[in-house]
Chain A
């Protein structure tokens, strides 16, 4: 039993998007789909600052599925395709059960972390990249970050954790005080995205 989670240090993140494409590569994520991406907290466009009283400011938030402890998506799925894995605490998506109703997408307050494949997924390359055992993408199902289930089931870390250039990402079992993620959170201020929604995310943004 574990409760996997992540901590992302916004004081280190520079929005380089290495994690974004590590995820794309490892999971052979189709064109136009992102399981994780970096959002700018600043101006009205990516990589632009907010300007207030002649002071400029900009922060980055790498955002994928928050793997909530109290996930809004699980509650609304009519067929149990979206479920919380009791072994890992990961919110998973069973493509075989998914009927494509997209209720999970409407219920999830974190816009954009899930996508629905209206068509057969498309790829720039003629061959699949990434992990040989990454699940294949399917038409008419909802997909999202799996915390790289294929990797963690072998004791590896998710692809986005493999090498953050800023060393801003921490991963592990939130219930284990000695895990990398628990040690990163200890003694630091953090934010949860949309805390008020009561979803209790498994992703901690260190501020």
Chain B
């Protein structure tokens, strides 16, 4: 079973080495790929010096496009499972092996690492928690499913969802929206409790100023996704395109 860790990184020179080493030591059965979204700092040079497995995007195109590039990579190289781990060192790689074994045993389409099941580790600020609650409510309204941490970036998906994401992935702030889309399409989502850390260096892509835009855009996107993705059919993304390239 081949499993891939996708690490989107934009200006993460301060965190990237820690993140990758964490994955190498704590999740040895995973391959990893760093998607460097045309960082302006030393991220690329660091990765090359450390001989990390890195895909460099030629133009900065946003977190969504970078993650989608990772899914495209997973699709092309024939990975069975892919999990996103942010390059800022917030996600703890020790949970990855556990997630993979649950994925293999229970055969769901997506497994989300949630901060809010056992409420351990870094819990995010008060206002962010309100926002996260709001998206949980939206998802409950549209799909009837409870997802406690819809904004968690730590999400493991199987082969069919990899195919879907490689074709169709929102440009920015994709997490809550794609959860609804997948549920609407009839994929299954489960959550397990994880601990997350506070970011050490650099700044979050969601600053205070952008929060309002974020709330507005994601809410609208959730409604759009909830009203129905009639264009897509689940069967279109069954694994039939690529058997995977020989690596």
Partners in one complex: no
